[in-house]
Amino acid sequence: MAAIAIPRRSVLAGLLAALAMFGPFCIDAIFPAFPAIAAQFRAGAPAMQQTISVYLLVYALMSLVLGALSDAWGRRAVTLGCVSVFLMASVGCAMAQSMPVLLMFRGLQGACAGVGLIVGRAIVRDCFEGAEAQKLMAHISMIFGVAPALAPVVGAWLVMLGGWHALFWVLSAFAALLLLLCLGMLPETHPRASRIALSPRGLLSTYREILTDSQFIPLALTLTFSVGGLLLYVTNAPAFVLRILQLDTHHFPWLFVPAISGLVLGSTLAARLAGRVNARVLLGAGYAIMLGAALLGVLVAWQMVPARVPWAVLPLALGGVGINLIAPTINLLVLDRFPRHRGAASSVQAFVTLAFYALLAGVIGPWLGDNALHFALAALGLYACGFAAWRWYRTVAKRAPPAGSIERELLDDTD
């Protein structure tokens, strides 16, 4: 580790946060462009939904291999390659003259959009341990949560100023800037001596090792269900804002600003408290806030019909605080389980998470309909499932020696 030339933590945090941003941002940023794209290409609602489903499908599938590629070829090489492909795909979307061409380039965007989150997590753990890793992971968790919440607001602004093409031209410019920054500042944190040869048999063996690990599934589900309690609203923003809150397209900030504020506050607290407050206490506080927020959401939805702002969105802000109090620690626990396969572990975790978020957007959200109480109860259920998965992890982990200082804190029941 001493041989790695690591830039200042603040510089690396900013770069990794920017890399983590563009993947989730692209999922929702296209929502405000739906009417314009549909009008130009004479596309119906099912065809427009494919701009999301194709992106998510390829995103999820490629998330299975991006981390393993970085374990074999190095973090820097894989990151630079993916950002370059994302740049070309964004230009292709901006210049698309038909719906099939747009969908093809959206799939290409999805193929490399996960590199920032997946490889970025591995880079953090390559360079830092303990509280330092928690602090840096907190910043990345914040951006990952903020990006999909902020995306429709920024997308609407860009579409209003320059049409739907402007959205993809701005994404192209952002990718170009990110590529230059990576070329100049991103270190190679995975030296050749630590790399693992890539082969289909070896990859399958690694995935089997990860998926059969007694602690991986509980940890992956802990984070997936917990973040899902908030992303349930984000992935179904049109239904919640337009039909449940009965607002217009200019009022999406009523949903996204509280969500963003909560995530930012949670991340800030996690970064400041790392190393000062016992990790078990931090996780407990996070779940107390999430479950309290969800119960408040149920009470508000039950008593206030129709749902009204600001009361209907206050629980989202509180939930965001709790989510980002726990996310950095859970991510580090996953990576610490597989020190030789951090990229692959990050990949599998991302796949589990993305597959569930696609379910939230395509099945669970529409099934809940236009009922605020249904959404609130579903959020409570998701947070409760996250807490149950966390308790499951603690039960399993206590049967084995702790893997590091963070795990020792989490499993120590004495104050």
Q: Are 114 and 59 in contact (CB under 8 A)?
A: yes
Task: Return all residues near 377 (Cβ < 8 A) that are at least 6 apart.
Answer: 298
Q: Are 128 and 13 in contact (CB under 8 A)?
A: no
pLDDT recorded at residue 350: 82
Q: Return the axis-axis angle of helices 34-41 and 45-73, rounded to nearest 10°.
A: 110
Q: CB of 51 within 8 A of CB of 102?
A: yes
Per-residue pLDDT of the chain (415 residues; tens, 9 = 90+): 444 556 566 677 778 888 888 787 887 788 788 888 989 998 876 778 788 778 888 888 888 888 888 888 888 999 999 999 999 999 999 999 999 999 999 999 999 888 887 888 788 877 777 677 777 777 776 666 667 667 777 888 898 888 999 999 999 999 999 999 999 888 888 888 777 777 788 788 888 888 888 899 999 999 999 999 998 888 777 788 888 988 876 777 888 889 888 988 888 888 788 778 887 888 999 999 999 999 999 999 999 888 888 999 999 999 999 998 998 888 888 888 887 777 788 888 888 888 887 788 777 877 887 889 999 999 999 999 999 999 999 888 877 766 555 666 666 665 4
**Which of the listed CATH numbers 3.50.50.60, 3.40.50.80, 2.30.30.230, 1.20.1250.20 matches domain 9-185+196-411?**
1.20.1250.20
d(CA 393, CA 198): 30
What confidence tens digit (pLDDT) does each residue in 55-112 have? 888 888 888 888 888 888 888 999 999 999 999 999 999 999 999 999 999 999 999 8
**Which residues are CB-neighbours of 281 under 8 A, at least 6 positions away?**
none
CA dihedral 151, 156, 161, 164 (to 10 degrees): 80
* Domain-wise residue ranges, the chain: 9-185+196-411
Three-state DSSP state, 136: helix
Which stretch of DSSP H or E encloses residue 247?
Answer: none
pLDDT given for residue 91 in this prediction: 96
Helix, strand or coil for residue 274? strand
